[in-house]
Amino acid sequence: KKAAGEATTKYMAIAEAKGAEAVTYDNGTLEQYIADIHNGRTDFIPNDYYVQTIAIKNANKLFPDFKTKVGNVFYNPSKAAFVLNKESVTLQEKINQVLEEMRKDGSLAELSKKFYEGEDVSTEKEEIGGKKLKDLPVVEVDR
């Protein structure tokens, strides 16, 4: 199978480790990725679940004749984080404080649902796509 993506991402490294042929793009657009799946140049796009969900929803609006969907293949559960200067202790404390306030008043969940197609990504999930996160495979790669 042919995997579409940026050359140096973890997603592509995992796809290659599992035997996929890499078809790489340099700053490719959503339209390029989806068109290449539609025309058979590639078979799949390994990427973040929520990014893919939003991308496919938008692509299906733009290109209703394209038959694309988010697959039900999950691996390497991960978390997101901010990258800060080690000396930015005050900034980190302020970010943590604001995030906690937003969790408590519900505004973080509201923002999440607004920008992630109704999903609340501000809370840790036990499963995704009907699969328990603790049971997902982890593929080790050097990148």
**CA Rg value for the chain:** 18
Domains and CATH numbers, the chain: 2-62 (3.40.190.10), 89-135 (no CATH)
Is the pTM higher than 0.75? no
Residue 26 has pLDDT above 80, yes or no: yes
Per-residue pLDDT of 32-81, as tens digits, reads 888 999 999 999 999 888 888 888 888 888 888 988 888 877 777 777 77
- Can you tell me the distance from the alpha carbon of 25 to that of 34, in angstroms, rounded to the nearest whole number? 12
Q: What share of the chain is helix, strand, coil (3-state, %, to 5)?
A: 40, 10, 50
Lowest mean pLDDT segment, chosen from 6-15, 40-49, 123-132: 123-132
Task: Note the pLDDT of residue 19.
Answer: 94
How many other CB atoms are found less than 10 A from the CB of residue 53?
17
Residue 143 has pLDDT above 70, yes or no: no
- Can you tell me the distance from the alpha carbon of 67 to that of 113, in angstroms, rounded to the nearest whole number? 26
Per-residue pLDDT of 77-124, as tens digits, reads 777 778 999 999 999 999 999 999 999 999 999 999 999 888 898 888
Task: Note the pLDDT of residue 57.
Answer: 87
Closest CA to 1 of 15, 18, 21, 23: 21
Task: Note the pLDDT of residue 34.
Answer: 87
Helix (H) or strand (E) holding 93: helix 89-105
